[in-house]
Amino acid sequence: MPCPFLGSFNQAFVRNYGSSLMKQYGNYCPMISRTFRTLGQDETKCPFIQQNSIISEAPKEMSEDIVEPVKPYKYEKFFNDQISAKKKDYSYRIFRKVSRLAADGVYPQALEGQENRRVTVWCANDYLGASRHPIVQDAAIAAIKSYGTGAGGTRNIAGNSQMTEKLEGEIAKLHNKPAALIFSSCFVANDATLSTLAKILPDCIVYSDAGNHASMIQGIRNSRAPKHIFRHNDPNHLRELLSKSPAGVPKLVVFETVHSMSGAICPLEEMCNIAHEYGALTFVDEVHAVGLYGKSGAGIGEERGVQHLIDIVSGTLGKAYGNVGGYIAGSTLLIDTVRSLAPGFIFTTALPPPVLAGSLAAIRLLASEEGRSLRSKHQAIVRYFKLSLLVAGLPQLPSVSHIVPVPIKGADKVALVAESLMKRGHYVQAINYPTVARGEERLRFAPGPYHTPEMVDSLVTALIESFHENNISFDQFMVNGACRECSMEYKADIMQDELLKFPMQVA
């Protein structure tokens, strides 16, 4: 049935003035006002719209002021979904409230939770307790009194002090290199150096160890250079990949000496020689080795007498040296290139005076005879802990370094055991994805020179109880302090000075 209103006009008038009529009077027609919102759908019944294309196509004047509401993106729902997924697969990280104590007689204990309950810390990377050593503390305090707590800006603006250059000189001397450069962290050092060098070297190809730390992986990704991944600590696979590379093209071979989560130590000399055979530069991360290996604490390179084979070494001030920050050391021109071109260095506030002074004091301390004594005690207690795990029948991954991983498959299981240990006064953090692959979850222990055999004994007992409490089976051959087969009592009556006669050797 035709519209009675529009039907009163002739067709020529409707063709000429239809849009104006609809704009002025359309909202009075219930059929038209409803169908305009569903235009183009099958339910459009108005015979006027069906017969007049000028109206059915909705002229611009009629539609320009019609704004369909767009629902805003639900950001909080998205974030909630991300966190829920992490919690569901047990990879959500809960930061324990643990305040480490520094005073004599209480270190390596900490205050945990709201109740400030005393627990023993087994997972800190302050491996030798340098952060609480009086020499390091006094140096940091003196720097605060003389220079304040902050750097005042980037190195270019206000943060390049004599102490900064003195620390870089000490690091270069430690690693037997012409120059060094310090960063706000070793993550930044690795990321900034690798992304800059692999980006500016023409047609550079990167060869990266499969077990590399996230900081190196991030730097390689940021460079957008082509890369090849070789199997962890596998020089034969590295050679196979390098043999297929074009001659004369810049290459970087990137790997760690001590692996942070497995405790494995790479075949350093062999890997460096293979890299150089094919014209590559070596970038070697000694983060978990500096301060701990070698006569001066320079790392595995010094321990094995092959520092000269490392073209670029990266290290940290935040683990064995007990402070914060990272660094690289290498040739003068290479270091100057990174200094001049790496955004991660250029646009970052410099390290503050107490960190510079504390780090300088820590490097000198661990290069001294006292540092060598700390390393010996450290290696001795690590050996005692590994032996105690072995005697108890508890699992441990093979490790020739100071890092002792105890595998517990399943993110839920490893978290439960960590919680059980905490209840018994022992703090160790559960390690799961993405730090390690799913199915390779573990507890990562790092006993230090201030842990005693009695502390280790207490920890091993707590581990046995925690495994039983959470229904985790293991090959327990000690029951109530005696062998399950012959009932012979076992007592690890080995004192610290006796352990020092058998220091841990690097493979």
Which residues are registered as beta bridge partners of 327? 182, 315
User: Active-site residue 319, yes or no?
Assistant: yes
Decide: 249 and 226 in contact? Cβ < 8 Å: no
CA-closest candidate to residue 332, choices 181, 175, 178? 178
The SS3 call for residue 330 is strand
DSSP state of 231: -
Distance CA 258, CA 504 (A): 14
φ and ψ of 141, to 5 deg:
-65, -45
Distance CA 155, CA 349 (A): 7
Decide: 467 and 396 in contact? Cβ < 8 Å: no
With a CB cutoff of 8 Å and minimum separation 6, the contacts of 281 are 197, 250, 251, 252, 253, 275, 311, 312
Q: Residue 430: left (phi > 0), alpha (psi -120 to 50), or beta?
A: beta
DSSP 55-98: HHT--HHHHTT-----PPP-HHHHHHHHHHHHHHTT-------E
Exactly one of 251, 319, 377, 413 is catalytic; name it.
319
Helices (H) and strands (E) in the chain, counts: 20, 16
Active site residues: 319
